Amino acid sequence: MSIRENIKTLKESLTPEITLVAVSKTKPNENILEAYNSGHRVFGENKVQELVSKQEDLPKDIEWHMIGHLQRNKVKYIAPFVSLIHGVDSLKLLKEINKRAEQNNRTINCLLQVHIAEEDTKFGFSPEEIEDVLKGNDLAQMNNVNIVGLMGMATNTDNQEQVQREFIGLKHLFDDIASKQSSFSTLSMGMSGDYEIALAAGSNMIRVGSRIFGARNYS
Ligand SMILES: *Cc1c(COP(=O)(O)O)cnc(C)c1O
């Protein structure tokens, strides 16, 4: 199937409140344009350099999401245009995003990444830390970031019950915060291999790459 067909089929299976982030990392601009020309506008990248060069070359009405681990010294390159940063995993990073957003006279929407997987290689706050960040004085001083929700990645396992358990745990945390904080609207969870489980658990933003663009070649 073509990229155009993949994205059409996927979108038809989603209810309107679900946002599909088409993860185009490692894929050439022509692939992105194929999805773009079928009407899609939301794309995600995980490397700053790649994100910046694609943003420069591609149509300006694309909504670019930074989905990967973000280093503080690279925030400045994406601050002028990024529309959502999914992987905020430290207060220091959040402060840097706030500073660079202010320099660009804008507010940057962010998701706090929560560590839900068993593997300790995945970045993110613990659920307890999330509450601290949201209640803390530091955040109150930041006028140029908007925390709009949470992001999480489940353990990379064939054990579907475990994946489901991790997603449901994150959904509970999200609901708990959203009930107290009206700015909380976005729960980013689910990728090609597990987005159906994530949606059933209550995700409203999925990040899908290979299912749209085909397998990636890392050289
Ligand atoms: C690559 C990536 C995805 C998409 O992965 P697929 O399995 O190709 O859908 C989603 N989220 C993050 C953070 C990624 O780095």
Q: How far is the CA of 191 from the centre of ligand 1 (A)?
A: 6
Confidence (pLDDT) at 192: 97
Say whether 15 sits in a helix, a strand or coil. coil
Question: Considering only CA atoms, which residue is closest to atom 6 of ligand 1?
Answer: 209
Q: How far is the CA of 136 from the centre of ligand 1 (A)?
A: 31
Confidence (pLDDT) at 104: 98
User: Could you tell me the CA-to-CA distances from 116 to 33, 43, 90, 198 in Å, in that order?
Assistant: 34, 24, 15, 13
Mean pLDDT of the chain: 96
Among the atoms of ligand 1, which is closest to the Cα of residue 25?
A: 1
SS (H, E, C) 41-85: CEEEECCHHHHHHHHHHCCCCCEEEECCCCCHHHHHHHCCCCCEE
Confidence (pLDDT) at 1: 80
Among the atoms of ligand 1, which is closest to the Cα of residue 195?
A: 9
User: Closest by alpha carbon to 210, among 8, 11, 18, 26?
Assistant: 26
Backbone angles phi, psi at 25, to 5 degrees: -55, 140
Confidence (pLDDT) at 53: 98
pTM of the model: 0.96
- Judge contact between 40 and 32, C-beta under 8 A: no
To test the pocket of ligand 1, the residue of 46, 51, 151, 205 to mutate (highest count of ligand atoms within 8 Å of its CB) is 46
Confidence (pLDDT) at 122: 64
Among the atoms of ligand 1, which is closest to the Cα of residue 86?
A: 13
Q: Is the pLDDT of residue 218 over 80?
A: no
Q: How far is the CA of 208 from the centre of ligand 1 (A)?
A: 6
Q: How far apart are CA 76 and CA 83, in angstroms?
A: 14
Q: Which residue has the tokens 């609207």?
A: 185
Four-residue CA torsion sign, 129, 131, 134, 139: negative
- Judge contact between 189 and 174, C-beta under 8 A: no
Residue 121, classified by CB atoms within 10 Å of its CB into exposed (0-12), middle (13-18) or buried (19+), is exposed
Q: Is the pLDDT of residue 219 over 60?
A: no
User: Closest by alpha carbon to 45, among 77, 17, 93?
Assistant: 77
User: What are the tens digits of pLDDT across the range 157-196?
Assistant: 999 999 999 999 999 999 999 999 999 999 999 999 999 9
User: Could you tell me the CA-to-CA distances from 143 to 29, 70, 107, 129, 178 in Å, in that order?
Assistant: 34, 20, 8, 21, 20
Among the atoms of ligand 1, which is closest to the Cα of residue 208?
A: 9
Question: Considering only CA atoms, which residue is closest to atom 15 of ligand 1?
Answer: 68
Q: How far is the CA of 206 from the centre of ligand 1 (A)?
A: 9
Q: How far is the CA of 207 from the centre of ligand 1 (A)?
A: 6
With a Cβ cut-off of 6 Å, ligand 1 is lined by 23, 25, 46, 67-68, 191-193, 207-211
- Judge contact between 203 and 185, C-beta under 8 A: no
User: What are the tens digits of pLDDT across the range 107-137?
Assistant: 999 999 999 988 776 689 999 999 999 999 9
Q: What angle is formed at CA 26 by the lines to CA 19 and CA 33, rounded to 5 degrees?
A: 60
Q: How far is the CA of 32 from the centre of ligand 1 (A)?
A: 15
Q: How far apart are CA 23 and CA 210, in angstroms?
A: 8
Confidence (pLDDT) at 119: 77
Q: How far is the CA of 209 from the centre of ligand 1 (A)?
A: 6
Confidence (pLDDT) at 123: 82
